[in-house]
Amino acid sequence: MIRPTAAVAAILFSAAPALAWGPTGHRAVGRVAERHVAPETAREVAAILGPERLAYVGTWADDIRSDPAWAKAETWHFVTIPTGQTYATSKKNEAGDLLEAIARFERVLADRAAPRLERQQALKWLVHFAGDVHQPMHVGAREDRGGNDVMVLWFGDPSNLHSVWDSGLIDRMELSSTELAEKVDIATPDQVRAWQASTPLEWADESRAAADRAYVLGDRRLGYKYIFEQAPTLELRIQQAGIRLAGLLDRVLGARRDTAGDWLEELALVPAGR
Ligand SMILES: [Zn+2]
């Protein structure tokens, strides 16, 4: 066997962690949200986004990753909560994290005096983060960078657990984002109400619990059995992300705006002016 040079090894094993559901997952989240927002909210969204749509702006946060001006955003896509701790008790990343970023951009979006470009970007961030916070590998323990360091074989090809969850599982479904959104969006009105009444802190806790189940890997040769075991969770998380994004936007932009930001008080940790 040829030994990889140090440089090659660095590329192979220390590549920047993947940061999101793949494009299909993020688009499906936005599309589910479009199906659930109130008409008044949809009008506000259109006024802020112009010709763009919720179904497509969720990938902007990944598109800008190569822009040095946004290097500061790298840590906003995930949150680390060490085993046995909660977000409240955990040491916060001073560069920002997923929950802190949701709270921060929710405030910008709710501020009707803020410049339109800032509110537009805040909305794009929130569409993206609604997906990320429901991706089990984005609410991880510190040791393995959200599964990026957990090497697996995915249908025989070298991969890692984070990548399997970002895109491996979804790609194997061979559905467009429209089809995926239609397939997963099956909640009853009672479920929609209950899900929309929960907070991003709870969404993160659920992701953490789902991640624990996702780590049942056997011999790490993952394929159809892993899809069979995990696809229901994946579909539920995409669905919940879209429905809760709709609820968040209704709260911040629509008829329910009077209750905007209650969960921010609970967080009580949002640094001003980052
Ligand atoms: Zn992301």
The answer to whether residue 5 sits within a structural domain is: no
Span 136-178, pLDDT tens digits: 999 987 688 899 999 999 999 999 999 999 999 999 999 999 9
The answer to whether residue 25 sits within a structural domain is: yes
Contacts of 267 (CB under 8 A, 6+ apart): 87, 99, 100, 103, 201
Residue 82, pLDDT score = 82
The answer to whether residue 190 sits within a structural domain is: yes
- What's the gap in Å between 20 CA and the centre of ligand 1? 4
The answer to whether residue 133 sits within a structural domain is: yes
Q: Taking 90 as the threshold, does the pLDDT of residue 188 lie above it?
A: yes
pLDDT confidence bin for 39, thresholds 50/70/90: very high
The answer to whether residue 154 sits within a structural domain is: yes
Q: Which long-range contacts (CB under 8 A, 24 or more apart) does 190-194 make?
A: 192/36, 192/243, 192/247
What is the rounded CA–CA span in Å between residue 240 and residue 242? 5
Span 12-38, pLDDT tens digits: 444 445 556 889 999 999 999 999 999
Cα angle 99, 249, 183 (rounded to 5 degrees) comes to: 90
The answer to whether residue 12 sits within a structural domain is: no
Paired residues of 235 in beta bridges: none
Cα angle 33, 39, 45 (rounded to 5 degrees) comes to: 60
Calculate the average pLDDT of the chain.
88
- What's the gap in Å between 105 CA and the centre of ligand 1? 14
The answer to whether residue 71 sits within a structural domain is: yes
Shortest CA distance to 64 belongs to which of 126, 134, 124? 124
Shortest CA distance to 109 belongs to which of 53, 41, 192, 36? 41
- What's the gap in Å between 1 CA and the centre of ligand 1? 36
Q: How many C-beta atoms lie closer than 10 Å to residue 15's C-beta?
A: 10
- What's the gap in Å between 266 CA and the centre of ligand 1? 23
Residue 101, pLDDT score = 95
Residue 212, pLDDT score = 87
Instruction: Give the pLDDT mean for 120-127.
Output: 98
**Ion ligand 1 neighbours, Cβ < 5 Å:** 19-20, 77, 132
What is the rounded CA–CA span in Å between residue 189 and residue 170? 26
Residue 256, pLDDT score = 64
- What's the gap in Å between 70 CA and the centre of ligand 1? 13
Task: Tell me the C-alpha to C-alpha distance, in Å, between residue 162 and each of 130, 208, 221.
Answer: 17, 13, 15
* CATH code where residue 174 lies: 1.10.575.10
DSSP symbol at 233: H
Contacts of 83 (CB under 8 A, 6+ apart): 141
pLDDT confidence bin for 10, thresholds 50/70/90: very low
Span 240-259, pLDDT tens digits: 999 999 999 999 998 666 55
- What's the gap in Å between 73 CA and the centre of ligand 1? 10
Q: Global pTM?
A: 0.89
- What's the gap in Å between 223 CA and the centre of ligand 1? 25
Span 44-75, pLDDT tens digits: 999 999 999 999 999 999 999 999 999 999 99
pLDDT confidence bin for 268, thresholds 50/70/90: low
- Domain span at residue 64? 19-267
Q: Taking 80 as the threshold, does the pLDDT of residue 134 lie above it?
A: yes
Side-chain-side CA neighbours of residue 77 (13 Å): 27
The count of structural domains within the chain is: 1
- What's the gap in Å between 67 CA and the centre of ligand 1? 15
Q: Taking 80 as the threshold, does the pLDDT of residue 114 lie above it?
A: yes
- What's the gap in Å between 5 CA and the centre of ligand 1? 31
Residues of the chain with pLDDT > 70: what percent? Answer: 86
Residue 86, pLDDT score = 80
Instruction: Give the pLDDT mean for 124-132.
Output: 97
The answer to whether residue 258 sits within a structural domain is: yes
Strands ordered across the beta sheet of 151-154:
157-160, 151-154, 221-222
Shortest CA distance to 215 belongs to which of 233, 200, 202? 233
